[in-house]
């Protein structure tokens, strides 16, 4: 076979690519499907998928990821299947890094909903000087901190003591940032006892209980003070981030 342009208008290669998309449309690629694809590739006399443009291989991979995400959960089996597809497409980790982070968050969310809470390693630098003796950290992330005098009735979803989190309920709410004053960044730490905010060497915390005023939005948290509010904006724009925080705090606040 001579040198052909995989990237262009070759109908045979386009046909093979479509069959490959169909094969991974359910987020899986088993041995039988791989054999069928290889047979088809030889029949069409086209080069392997690894020779395709990165953007096209990534598009196929993202379709498989979309199928997995549509189920609302990601099991260890699902992770394994997507890893097989990534390998088949010869995509390096750095070529799908953003997608892999989204999958990691979805995997974490799936485990929380099953009652398996994540644990933050003691070696995590965000924990230094932030925890009380015997306290366990379950999740941490970097957030932007803002001071907001008034929510203008954009109150978000309250995470109340002893109450479950209604799946997806925070996603339609947006942090009331108009008029808020940026205060820098900090580390948000969710422990088995408190919601902890570490900014530099300063540590502030809200102890879980019936009096805790913690409100969730699709893009962050609001901590209501006696006067005013502290807004914590998530750096990640993934929906799973808010869902992780909502489900995890609901599990911890009981």
DSSP 199: E
146-165 in b/e form (b: 16+ CB < 10 A) is: bebeebeebebbebeeeeeb
Query: pLDDT for 26-69, tens place per residue?
Result: 999 988 999 999 898 888 888 887 777 888 889 999 889 888 88
Query: pLDDT for 115-173, tens place per residue?
Result: 999 999 999 999 999 999 999 999 999 999 999 999 989 999 999 999 999 999 999 99
Q: Round the CA-based radius of gyration of the chain to a whole number and report it.
A: 23
Beta carbons within 10 angstroms of residue 97's beta carbon: 10
Helices in the chain by DSSP H: which ranges? 11-23, 31-44, 54-69, 76-88, 97-113, 239-252
What integer pLDDT is reported at residue 112 of this predicted model? 95
Q: Which of 192, 221, 220 lies closest to 207, judged by CA?
A: 192
3-state secondary structure of 230: strand
Both tokens of 109, joined, read 């969310």
Report the percentage of the chain scoring pLDDT > 70: 96
Q: How confident is the model at residue 6 (pLDDT cuts 50, 70, 90)?
A: very low
Is the predicted pLDDT of residue 201 greater than 90, yes or no? Answer: no
């Amino acid at each position: 076979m001579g040198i052909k342009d995989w990237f262009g208008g070759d109908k045979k290669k386009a046909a093979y690519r479509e069959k490959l998309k169909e094969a991974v449309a359910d987020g899986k690629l088993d041995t039988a499907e791989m054999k069928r694809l290889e047979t088809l590739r030889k029949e069409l006399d086209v080069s392997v998928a690894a020779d395709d443009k990165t953007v096209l291989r990534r598009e196929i991979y993202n379709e498989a990821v979309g199928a997995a995400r549509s189920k609302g959960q990601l099991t260890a089996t699902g992770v394994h299947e997507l890893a097989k597809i990534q390998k088949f497409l010869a995509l390096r980790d750095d070529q799908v890094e953003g997608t892999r982070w989204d999958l990691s968050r979805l995997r974490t969310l799936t485990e929380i909903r099953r009652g398996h809470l994540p644990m933050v390693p003691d070696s995590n630098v965000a924990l230094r000087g932030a925890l009380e003796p015997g306290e366990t950290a379950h999740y941490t992330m970097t957030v932007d901190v803002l001071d907001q005098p008034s929510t203008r009735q954009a109150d978000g979803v309250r995470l109340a003591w002893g109450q479950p989190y209604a799946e997806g309920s925070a996603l339609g709410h947006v942090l009331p940032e108009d008029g808020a004053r940026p205060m820098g960044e900090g580390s948000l730490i969710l422990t088995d006892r408190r919601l902890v905010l570490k900014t530099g060497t300063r540590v502030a915390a809200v102890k879980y209980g019936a009096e805790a005023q913690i409100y969730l939005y699709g893009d962050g948290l609001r901590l209501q003070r006696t006067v005013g509010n502290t807004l914590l904006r998530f750096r990640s724009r993934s929906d799973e981030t808010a869902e992780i925080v909502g489900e995890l705090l609901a599990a911890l606040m009981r």
